[in-house]
Amino acid sequence: MSGFDLSTVGDVTEREDAGQVVHLRDASGEPLFTGEPQTQPVTITVAGTYSTRFRRAQDQLQQRMLKKRQRDLTPELITANRTELVAAAILEWQGISDKGQPLPCTKENAIRLLTAAPWIREQLEEAQQDHAGFTKPASRS
């Protein structure tokens, strides 16, 4: 029998909950590396938009906006909301530092990173929308 089997929906969510590794690129599109010599990819593992984690963050953001009766969306607010959603979906990272010291992977630090480097947010958003990328364990370059 072909078609859509509702019982397989959980498989998609599980794969997206596990995340996919994204090899980050700088603002000019060059892959980022760390280590001595610089051979270790700088990566972020991010959950997809079908993941439980992302959907929960989306629900919380919408609930907060409804509670505040926030009707007027400004470009700044839209960007801040996008940044918050991506930050909530970051599972881990490798090779991210601040002033030469490893930066702990927290939601607050993720928001700092994505605000300072919007091209990284864009790479992660692209990966989150690439649902086929969650079916294979290979990293994105």
Residue 116: strand pairing partners: none
Q: What is the pLDDT of residues 89-141, one digit of tens each?
A: 999 999 999 999 999 999 999 999 999 999 999 999 999 999 998 875 544 55
The whole-number pLDDT of residue 136 equals 58
